[in-house]
Amino acid sequence: MPSPKPTEPEPLSLDEIDRKILAELQEDGRMTNVELARRAGISPPPCLRRVRRLEEAGYIQGYRAQTDGHKLGWQITFFVIVGLESQKQAVLNGFESLVANWPEVRECHMIRGGGDFLLKLVARDAAHENQLTARLTAAGHVAKVQTLQTIRTSRALSGVPMDRLNG
C-alpha cells in the first residue's frame, strides 16, 4: 500500500510586506534580519516571524551561493532536448530518476512540444560534453537527443518577478 502523500501547507495570503521580504531575499539571501526588516519597513522580530512563516509554507525553499562555473572549471553550459520512446509514467519517472543522479544535470524540465524533457547541463570541456551526450543517447527509452550549446548568457535570474504578483 503506498504511503500517503505529505499534505501541502495551506497557501498564505501574501501582503505587501511579505512580497517585499521575498523580493529582497531573492536579491540578497545573506542580508541580516535587521537590514531586511529595515527594507521591509517593519521591526526585526515580526520580520523574522514572517521569514520563518514563509519558509514553513514553502515560499522560501533555501538559500544558496551563486558560483561562477567558468572559474570552477565548468567551461560549457548546454541544453538538451530529450525525446523518449514512450510517455508512460514509468518511463518518464525512470528518466527523471536517471538524470537526478547526474551532478552535471543542473535542471530537468518536462516539456510539451518538440520533446519530452529539457535539460540544462554543464561540462568541463567538449570531450566531457560529448561523453554526457553519449550517455544520454544510450540511456534506456531515449529515442532522440538534440543538444544546444550556449555561446553566451546575457541574463540568468532565479526566482520570479515579485512586482508582478497579485496581492
* pLDDT values of the chain reduced to their tens digit, one per residue, 167 residues: 454 555 565 677 899 999 999 999 999 999 999 999 999 999 999 999 999 999 999 999 999 998 999 999 999 999 999 999 999 999 999 999 999 999 999 999 999 998 999 999 999 999 999 999 999 999 999 999 999 999 999 999 888 888 766 65
Hey, what CATH class is 76-149 in?
Answer: alpha beta
- Residue 143 and residue 83 in contact, taking contact as beta carbons nearer than 8 Å: yes
117: region left, alpha or beta (phi > 0 left; psi from -120 to 50 alpha): beta
How many residues are present in the chain? 167
Domain ranges of the chain: 16-56, 76-149
Q: What pLDDT was estimated at residue 167?
A: 52
Instruction: Indicate the CATH number for domain 16-56.
Output: 1.10.10.10
Q: What pLDDT was estimated at residue 166?
A: 60
Q: What pLDDT was estimated at residue 11?
A: 72
Q: What pLDDT was estimated at residue 9?
A: 58
